Amino acid sequence: MSGSECVGARVRGWRRWDGRMGSAPHPLGARFADRSDTLETQGHGNSRKDTHMRTSRLARSLAAMTLAIGGLTVATATVTATAPTAHADECYTWSRTLSNGTSGSDVSQLQIRVAGWAGYGVNMAIDGQYGGQTTTAVKNFQSAYGLAADGVAGPATFSKIYALQDPDCTPIHFSYAEASENCGRGLNGNGSVSLATARENLKRVMWRAEALRHRMGDHPLRVTSGFRDKACDAGVGGTGGGQHTYGTALDLVPADSGTTLCKIAQNARYAGMGGIFGPGYPGHSDHTHVDIRSGQTWSASQCGI
């Protein structure tokens, strides 16, 4: 979808971005890879939706069986008992309050989820060090979701994050399936990085997209292209080595009339996106490309960017 312009932008940001990726740890990448082996074969939706669908089918079956023996009240109770509960522990659970000065892998996990709230033009590092950027991002996250904005990540903040994440650790409004259509091939290891790294990168850009979506009033966004393997990337006009082949990029379009491609581009500047290409940039009249490269490479002249 994004063609050569995404590739050109990639070349400009190449050295810094590549250096970051070379040294940046992906603390839970392997763990998630193990947990998400079936994603490539999923043709639709996200895991939570699938769980709901399975539960719904099961409930209907049980209800039908119970009705058949004349027990409507029992059927209702069965539906309640099989409803899915919160999924926090299926993904990641924080065990301590985090604040300015603390460090660790739990800080990195927090940073991934609040990186879209660090402020205009701030593309914060996921480095496990809770400093000024993280404090600001947590404050903005808290404020955006109606929590007391003290910049300290405690139980209330973690509860909100749990509510926003699926069991596979993606944010609730984005999914690996949607973000890895990849010419019909799904997420695979044939991009510019390993499957585990592509998955981790996708998760990170999706969390920033979740922030972007909320910033715009929770109007739905659709991902028209996310991860692409090298062959797919080349097939849609790229060189086969652009941001999409790393899993770091999403092409977004509005999914209702409440927002526009320009609004996406403009708000993306506040959502931790290092790369933004939208209307006015060649080849981007029908989508806005965002990515999490280091630095800042933005162009959408029709949107004042």
- Which positions lie near Zn ion, rule CB under 5 A? 2, 6, 251, 289
| Cα angle for residues 93, 96, 99 (degrees, 5° grid) | 115
Min dist CB 49 to Zn ion, Å, is 25
Q: Nearer Cβ to Zn ion, position 199 or 289?
A: 289
DSSP 168: T
Q: Nearer Cβ to Zn ion, position 176 or 277?
A: 277
* Helix (H) / strand (E) containing 254: strand 249-254
Sheet holding 221-225, edge to edge: 221-225, 249-254, 288-291, 275-277, 297-299
| One-character DSSP codes across 171-192 | BTT--TTGGG-GGGT-S-S-SS
Q: Which residue is nearest to Zn ion (CB)?
A: 2
d(CA 27, CA 10): 25
- The dihedral built from the CA positions of residue 188, 192, 194 and 196, taken in this order, carries a sign that is negative
Q: Nearer Cβ to Zn ion, position 26 or 284?
A: 284
* Helix (H) / strand (E) containing 290: strand 288-291
Min dist CB 202 to Zn ion, Å, is 13
d(CA 198, CA 202): 6
Annotated catalytic residue within 26, 87, 244, 284 = 284
Min dist CB 199 to Zn ion, Å, is 18
d(CA 173, CA 109): 18
d(CA 140, CA 252): 23
Tokens representing 218 are 């929770």
Min dist CB 3 to Zn ion, Å, is 8
- Answer yes or no: 244 catalytic: no
Min dist CB 15 to Zn ion, Å, is 20
Tokens representing 2 are 């994004």
Q: Nearer Cβ to Zn ion, position 2 or 46?
A: 2
Q: Nearer Cβ to Zn ion, position 161 or 292?
A: 292
Min dist CB 121 to Zn ion, Å, is 20
d(CA 119, CA 130): 16
Give me the active site residues, please: 284
